[in-house]
Chains A and B, each alone.
Chain A
Amino acid sequence: MDWPTVAARLFGNEHAIVADGEFLGGTAAFDGATIAVVGTTAHAAVGVDLALRQARAILATVAEFPGRALLLLVDTQGQKLRRRDELLGIHRAMAHLGCCLDLARRQGHPVIGLVYDQALSGGFITSGLMADACHAVPEAEIRVMRVPAMARVTKLSEELLESLSLTNPVFAPGVANYVAMGGVQSLWDGDLAAGLRAALADRDTSDSRAQEGAQRGGRRVAAGVIQRVLEA
């Protein structure tokens, strides 16, 4: 789904979201309140510049509009793979972005993630995965790597990985698997505005993804291991 479609289905014409290159920013009216929108588009490769740009937009919202809800629109092919970005500390820029989102949460801003297209590895860790909860549209694509690439890197056969992935969501890409693992809280199917409304109504900001992964059966051991450490 492209971002203008997402914006129209969420906000109708009542929005001032604009794309500037791969950066998305702006505001929209929703149920009588203003929502700040920050994100990326065009399968953005998130490098230092794009991470810092998103961070600035979040800090500006925290500084000027205390408590305003933040909607993160996620479409990323992952981190930018360039020597310049490594030289300039892309890990620092991404950590900074994650810290800004964490600050927003602590200051009382609802932080909602929505994967409307692609969410791959590094670009996802400091955006949607740092939200209070991350949601996705059903046609979204979420993964670290595809099965053939995974087979190559791990030196395991594609057939083995494909067959195991039928019963274990850990092995295969796909938005449904991320829901089962608790990484994606819910799918917004059809009425996107209803999805956003429900997300905004849920003010629980604790990280319950491991428990959800256990309850949904997609990530069966993490919650138990965390509990064992607490009791050791």
Chain B
Amino acid sequence: MNVSFAECSARERLTAIVDAGTFREWLPPSARVMSPHLAQLGVPAAFDDGVAIGCATLAGRTVFVAAQEGEFMGGGVGEVHGAKLVGLLRRALRDRPDAVVLLAESGGVRLHEANAGLIAVSEVMRALLDVRAAGIATLVLIGGANGCFGGMGIVARCADTVVMSDIARHAMSGPEVIESSAGAGEFDSRDRALVWRTTGGKHRWLSGDCDVLVEDDPAAFRAAAIAALDVHRPMTLAALQRESTLLQWRTELAGEGADAFEFWTRLGVVDARTVPDLDADAVRARRPAAVAALANGGS
């Protein structure tokens, strides 16, 4: 493992995931489909508005793929960025690829064009659920250094499969936002260990919100994506009732004020204190069966 997936750009990640040389981009940077709002604000824009979309093959299967660039506005969803994702998903509904793979790296709604971004995120969410309901596998890979937050954090968990690296983060509000609202006593954003055991890949795996946990390695993400090409979680009433019951169980189990260590222990994780020192392989083996029911694939 010599390349960090987290340190790759969105395009490098995309190239590393799909079969070599197969990515064909729609609305590439040369088309200069850019945010009109950033231009109005005098803020530097990007030729792709921070997201690359297109089609490719993965292990020979046709996939539609999108990759968000966290280095541009934190991967924030603006009007154009969101519309590219919606377009990709609606095209998937029409053309029926084997899967849609989203390499998510986003702080959520782009605050410079927040009103449009908020609506766009909900459009992405509805379009993704349409694709999933059509029986096309939906995969979200979370491995960028900026994590996956806000509205995109919600969107990601609407997919059939969520793959994370142990150093990735997946949550709603960033620790800085919570700290500035509720104080450092509530959430100390500078306490990196606390931040990672509250929002990081190991925690999401152990508590059932992440379906596949991998090392921070492009090859590992690619292998996980290939393995998830035929994973479907049909959204039936029975499936959602089961999820509801499990989420309720998990919430009651945690009680009030629990730290991650105490929460993991209550979930049945052995030697919870040692988890931060373990690699992804070792953490994978620690997930209790009761929790695995919250994710797909079990184990």
Of the listed residues A49, A129, A227, the one surrounded by the most CB atoms of chain B closer than 10 A to its CB is: A129
* B74 nearest CB across to chain A (Å): 11
A4 at the binding interface (Cβ < 8 Å): no
Question: Which of B26, B84, B187 lies in contact with A86, CB distance below 8 A?
Answer: B187
Write the nearest CB–CB distance from A122 to chain B, whole angstroms. 6
Partner pick for A121 among B109, B156, B198, B203, CB 8 A cutoff: B109
Q: Is the CB of B251 within 8 A of A52?
A: yes
Indicate whether A94 sits within 8 Å of B80 (C-beta atoms), given known contacts A171-B113, A226-B87: no
Contact mask for chain A residues 200-232; partner B; CB cutoff 8 A; 1 contact, 0 none: 000000010110010000011111111111101
CB neighbours of A93 from chain B (8 A): 247, 251
**Complex contact B115–A181 (CB within 8 A):** yes
Distance (whole angstroms) from the CB of B164 to the closest CB of chain A: 12
Q: How many A-B residue pairs have CB under 8 A?
A: 247
The answer, yes or no, to whether A92 is at the interface (CB within 8 Å) is yes
Taken residue by residue from 145 to 160, chain A's Cβ proximity to chain B (1 for < 8 Å, 0 otherwise) reads as 1000010011010001
Contact yes or no, B122 A150, CB < 8 A: no
Provide the residues of chain A in CB contact with B175, threshold 8 Å.
86
Interchain CB contact under 8 A, A182 and B115? no
| A107 / chain B contacts, CB cutoff of 8 Å | 237
Contact present for A48 and B37 (CB under 8 Å): no
5 interchain residue pairs of minimum CB distance: A229-B87, A144-B114, A129-B122, A95-B157, A225-B83
User: Which residues from chain B sit less than 8 Å from chain A, CB to CB?
Assistant: 26-27, 33, 36-37, 40-43, 53, 79-80, 82-84, 86-88, 90-91, 94, 109, 111-123, 125-127, 129, 133, 150-151, 153-158, 170-173, 175, 177-178, 181-182, 186-187, 198-199, 203-204, 207, 209, 235-237, 240-241, 243-244, 247-248, 250-251, 254, 256-260, 263
Q: Which residues of A contact B (CB under 8 A)?
A: 48-49, 52, 55-56, 59, 62-63, 79, 81-96, 98-100, 102-103, 106-107, 121-122, 124-126, 129-130, 143-145, 150, 153-154, 156, 160-161, 164, 168-173, 177-178, 181-183, 207, 209-210, 213, 219-230, 232
